């Protein structure tokens, strides 16, 4: 089955820069279009500590920052001669990625991993691991390059 539509979840970390570059190169080879996705994840602890007005202001600031970063990423994609759309969604990252892939008829998800270890990994697991298990399409997980990796 040809790959025509690639979903690229971005968290704007240095790893995400590497993943975006990889996805652009792959999409150029395949002449596929990209959907760039950013998931705003509010944990219950963050929401519980904020009043409704401060939560609304916080969400607006986070969404504005995400829009600016996705706009810059979309420009990179378009400069590479590719079609691209962007999406910002509030939700649980792995669920949102999986649901978006299904809803938008995505052929491939290209995403990075941070390689969580220790207690954080045991308690939360890896978003990439969950997406690999639950996605309705193939998933390509990139590792950060040695220049962006701190581990």
Digit-coded pLDDT (tens) for 55-98: 778 888 999 999 999 999 999 999 999 999 999 999 999 999 99
Question: CB under 8 Å to 35, separation ≥6 — which residues?
Answer: 5, 6, 7, 8, 84, 85, 86, 87, 100, 104, 106
pLDDT, position 59: 84
The structure's pTM equals 0.84
Residue 23, pLDDT above cutoff 60: yes
Q: Do 47 and 39 contact (CB within 8 A), yes or no? A: no
Superfamily designation of domain 5-142: HUPs (3.40.50.620)
Average pLDDT on 101-112 reads 96
d(CA 135, CA 31): 22
> Percent of the chain at pLDDT above 90?
64
3-state secondary structure labels for all residues of 68-129? HHHHHHHHHHHHCCCCEEEEEEECCHHHHHHHHHHHCCCCEEEEECCCCCHHHHHHHCCHHH
Residue 100, pLDDT above cutoff 60: yes
d(CA 134, CA 78): 30
pLDDT, position 57: 83
Average pLDDT on 23-38 reads 97
What 66-74 contacts at long range (C-beta under 8 Å, 24+ apart), as own/partner pairs, is 66/12, 66/38, 66/40, 69/10, 69/12, 69/38, 70/10, 70/36, 70/38, 73/10, 73/20, 73/36, 74/36
pLDDT band, residue 54 (cuts 50/70/90) = confident
pLDDT, position 43: 67
């Amino acid at each position: 089955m040809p790959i025509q539509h690639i979903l690229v979840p971005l968290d704007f970390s240095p790893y995400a820069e590497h993943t975006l570059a990889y996805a652009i190169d792959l999409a150029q080879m395949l002449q596929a279009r990209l959907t760039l996705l950013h998931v705003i994840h509010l944990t219950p602890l963050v929401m519980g500590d904020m009043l409704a007005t401060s939560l609304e202001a916080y969400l607006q600031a986070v969404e504005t920052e995400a829009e600016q970063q996705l706009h810059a990423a979309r420009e990179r994609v378009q400069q590479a001669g590719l079609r691209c759309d962007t999406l910002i969604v509030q939700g649980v990252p792995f669920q949102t990625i999986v649901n978006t892939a299904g809803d938008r008829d995505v052929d491939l998800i290209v995403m990075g991993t941070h390689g969580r270890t220790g207690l954080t990994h045991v308690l939360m697991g890896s978003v990439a691991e969950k997406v690999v298990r639950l996605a309705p399409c193939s998933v390509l997980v990139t590792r950060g390059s040695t220049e962006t990796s701190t581990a």
